[in-house]
Homo-oligomer: A and B are copies of this chain.
Amino acid sequence: MKICVLPGDGIGPEIMAQAVRVLDALDLKLEMEEALLGGCAVDATGNPYPEATRKLARAADAVLLGAVGGPKWDALPREQRPERGLLGIRKDLNLFANLRPAILYPELANASSLKPEIVAGLDILIVRELTGDIYFGQPRGIETREVEGTPQRVGWNTMIYAEYEIRRILKVAFEAAQKRGKKLCSVDKMNVLECTQLWRDIADEMANDYPEVELSHMLVDNAAMQLVRAPKQFDVMVTGNMFGDILSDEASMLTGSIGMLPSASLDADNKGLYEPSHGSAPDIAGKNLANPLATILSAAMMLRYTFNQEAAAQRVENAVKKVLAQGYRTGDIFEPGTNKVGTREMGDAVLAAL
C-alpha cells in the first residue's frame, strides 16, 4: 500500500502533517513518500508537476494531496502556474472520476448560510468528470484574427466528449447511486450544447442497465437554482468537468463548512488522488489555524476506495465525528460555546479519539 504524499502549497503542509499522523496511527503498513506539486514544485524545479513527482505518483497506489496555488505564482506564464500541476497529474494518472460529497455535519448546522430546515441532514454526492470536457479539449488558444473587418484578439476553447468518456463516468455515478439513495440526477445543457445532448442520450441508454436507479435530467442553470432552493432533493448528481467544477463548489458551500469536505479522484482501477475540497488558503498558511479535517477525511476516502479498508476508513470518520461532538473547532467552524483549537491540536484530538 504505497502512498505518494503531496503536501503542496499554503496550508497544505500543515494539514497534511495531521493526516499523516492519523494514517501512521492506524498500523496498516502504509508506505508513504513525499514529493512536490504546485507552487512549491515550480519554485524548486520550474515545473508544477516535476518528473520525480510523476514517477512516484505513477508507482504509488494512491496519492494524498494537500492543496496547491497562491498569489505568489499568479503572474507566472500559464504553463508554470500551480494549477497546471493539478490538471497535469489528473490527466496523467487518468483520474476521470471526481467524487465530491457535500455533507452537513449536524454539529455544524449553524455554519451554513442557508436556513437549517433547508440543509439539515444534507448528504449529496457530486460525481464530476475530471479528465475531459473544455478543460482539455483542443483546439484552444488566443490569437489575432480579422473579425468584422478589424484585426483583433480572439480566445477560444473546445468542449468535447467522446462516448467512452461519458459512459465510464456515468457508470461510476449509476453504481454510486445504487449503493446510496438510488436517485441519480444528470446535469447538462442539452437545449443549447450538442456536446451535452450526447451526454443525455447516453445516460438514457444506460439507464436500462440500472433498473433500480431512478435517473433524472436537469439543465445546469436549473441545477444551480435547485441547489439553493431545495438541495435535499438530490442524492447523486453527475455532470461534466466544467459544470461539475461550478456545481460541486456551490454544493460544498451550502454546508458552510467546506473545511470539512474531502474528495476523491479515481481512475478505472480505483487508483486515486485524494484531496480536501478547499483551497490552499495562503492568508492563514503557517499559522496553525487551518482545519485539517477535510484532509483527514480524504485519507479515510483513500482507505475505502483504493485500499478497500472499510473498517479503517470508518474508524477515522468516527474519530472525526467524535471530536466534533466533543466540541473541538478550528477557526473556520468555530462558534461561541465550542472549543477553538489550532491545526495541530485538532490532529491531537482526532488521534485521541481513534
A204 touches B (CB below 8 Å) = no
**Chain B residues, Cβ within 8 Å of A137:** 156
A140 to B192, CA, bound (A): 11
Complex partner residue of A113 from B145, B193, B194, B229, CB under 8 angstroms? B229
Interface assignment of A147: CB less than 8 Å from any CB of chain B: yes
> Which residues of the partner chain B approach A160 to less than 8 Å between Cβ atoms?
154-157
Residues of B within 8 A of A154 (CB): 160-163, 198
Measured CA separation A83–B189 after assembly (Å): 12
- Pick from B115, B162, B243, B249: contact of A152, CB below 8 A: B162
Q: Are A225 and B196 in contact, with the CB atoms below 8 A?
A: no
In the bound complex, how far is the Cα of B134 from the Cα of A281, in angstroms? 32
Within A106-155, which residues are at the interface with B (CB < 8 Å)? Answer: 113-115, 118, 134-135, 137, 140-142, 145, 147-148, 150, 152-155
List B contacts of A250 (CB < 8 A): 224-225, 227-228, 250
Q: Give the secondary structure class of A's interface.
A: helix
Digit string of A69-81 for contact with B (CB within 8 Å is 1, else 0)? 0000000001001
Cβ-defined contact, A150 with B164, below 8 A: yes
A338 in contact (CB, < 8 A): no
Q: In the complex, how many angstroms separate the beta carbon of A79 from the nearest chain B beta carbon?
A: 12
Cβ-based interface call for A87 (8 A): yes
Inter-chain contact B159/A147, CB cutoff 8 Å: no
Shortest Cβ distance from A189 into chain B, in angstroms?
8
Shortest distance between the CB of A314 and any CB in chain B (Å): 29
A222 to B253, CA, bound (A): 10
Tell me the count of chain A residues lying within 8 A, CB to CB, of chain B: 65
- Assess the B220–A246 pair: CB atoms within 8 A: yes
Contact A157 B194 (CB under 8 A): yes
Known contacts being A220-B245, A224-B247, A247-B224, is A197 close to B164, with CB within 8 Å? Answer: no
Minimal beta-carbon separation of A327 from chain B (angstroms): 23
Q: Tell me the smallest distance from the CB of A188 to a CB of chain B, in Å.
A: 10
Task: Verify B157–A153 contact, CB threshold 8 A.
Answer: no
**Are B150 and A155 neighbours in the complex by a CB distance under 8 Å?**
no
A56 within 8 Å of B (CB atoms): no
The CA of A143 and the CA of B242, in the complex, are separated in Å by: 21
Residue in A81, A157, A222, A245 whose Cβ sees the most chain B Cβ within 10 Å: A157
Q: In the complex, A280→B164 CA distance in Å? A: 36
A38 CB → nearest B CB, Å: 12
Q: What is the chain B residue whose CB lies nearest that of A160?
A: B156
Bound together, the chains give a CA A152 to CA B205 distance in angstroms of 14
A78, B158: Cα distance in complex, Å: 21
Whether A164 touches B147, Cβ cut-off 8 Å, given contacts A113-B115, A220-B245, is yes
Indicate if the CB atoms of A155 and B194 lie closer than 8 Å: yes
The distance from the CB of A294 to the nearest CB of chain B, in whole angstroms, is 15
From residue 220 to 254 of chain A, which have CB atoms closer than 8 A to chain B?
Answer: 220-222, 224-230, 242-243, 245-250, 252-254
Chain B residues with CB below 8 A from A228, complex form? 113-114, 228, 250, 253-254
Q: CB of A208 within 8 A of chain B?
A: no
Q: Which 9 A-B pairs have the closest CB atoms?
A: A155-B198, A155-B195, A156-B160, A152-B163, A225-B253, A224-B250, A221-B249, A147-B162, A228-B253
**Could you list some 20 contacts between A and B, CB below 8 A?**
A87-B192, A113-B115, A114-B228, A115-B115, A140-B193, A142-B194, A142-B197, A148-B162, A150-B164, A152-B162, A154-B160, A155-B160, A155-B197, A156-B159, A220-B246, A227-B250, A228-B253, A229-B253, A229-B256, A246-B246
